[in-house]
Amino acid sequence: TGTAAVVGSVGGACEIEELERRARAANRPHALVRDAGGAQRESGTANALGVGPAPAEDGDAVTGDLKLL
């Protein structure tokens, strides 16, 4: 048995950081990924957020309003 993976879209790094704050406030397991820099983004720019593993309703509490890719 595996865990479903869902990919959502946000408008930028600020929105990713806001989702991370929501995950932390809801005490959901999460990992914020920051860019190493050197290419298109500045070093330290938030560019991905993993939420879970958790039941779908727990993840939806943080990311449920995102547009799916």
Q: How far apart are CA 45 and CA 15, in angstroms?
A: 12
Residue 23 has a pLDDT of 92
Residue bearing tokens 């995102």: 66
Per-residue pLDDT averaged across 4-15, rounded?
84
Which 3 state secondary structure label does DSSP give 59?
helix
Residue 18 has a pLDDT of 92
Q: How far apart are CA 50 and CA 28, in angstroms?
A: 10
Helix runs in the chain, H state only: 13-25, 56-63
Residue 12 has a pLDDT of 86
Give the pLDDT band (50/70/90) at residue 2: low
